[in-house]
Amino acid sequence: MTEDRPSWDEYFMDITTLVARRSTCLRRAVGAIIVKDKRVLSTGYNGAPSGVRHCGETGCLREQRQVPSGERHELCRGIHAEQNAIIQAARHGVSILGATLYCTTRPCSICARMLINAGIEKIYYLEGYADPLSEEMLAEAGIPLERIGESRNSLFREAL
């Protein structure tokens, strides 16, 4: 074993940070992965749905309407990274019951509700998000939410 070998949490967060690089959102690049038994089940990043023009082409609806971060989630062309990870698992028939979510940003309250009902058992994230209802709901549902240190691979962080 070497000192440079990442822990499992670091490894999965590094992957999550890489997934975020696929984001098409102009405001915030977010990546999410769903893991169970040390295996990646699904990945997701935020952006417009498949076959729909990206915000880079249309402009950011939230910026155009001056919507603050953490508010009015429905005023956006994009799907959140966590939602995309859940959708991809469902689309391919992969159960995520009892799995763990790794995400570059703490989930919003909409994603928290979906993660609760999808059976996610633990959430790790890198950065906070301005939506206190999310934390309250996850705590009430008994889902641990843990902020972990930055990804060790600075190349991934610089790309965001």
**Cα dihedral: 106, 107, 113, 114 (round 10):** -130
**DSSP letter string, 42-100:** EEEE-BPPTTS--HHHH--HHHHTTPPTTS-TTS-S-B-HHHHHHHHHHHTT---TT-E
> Which is catalytic among the residues 3, 63, 71, 82?
82
For 142, the 3-state DSSP assignment is coil
Token duo for residue 88? 């991809």
**Residues whose CB is less than 8 angstroms from the CB of residue 14 and which lie 6 or more positions away in sequence, other chains included:** 6, 151, 152, 153, 156
If you ran DSSP here, which 8-state letter would residue 119 be given?
T
The residue type found at 160 is: L
Query: Catalytic site residue 74?
Result: no
Q: Which residue numbers are catalytic?
A: 82
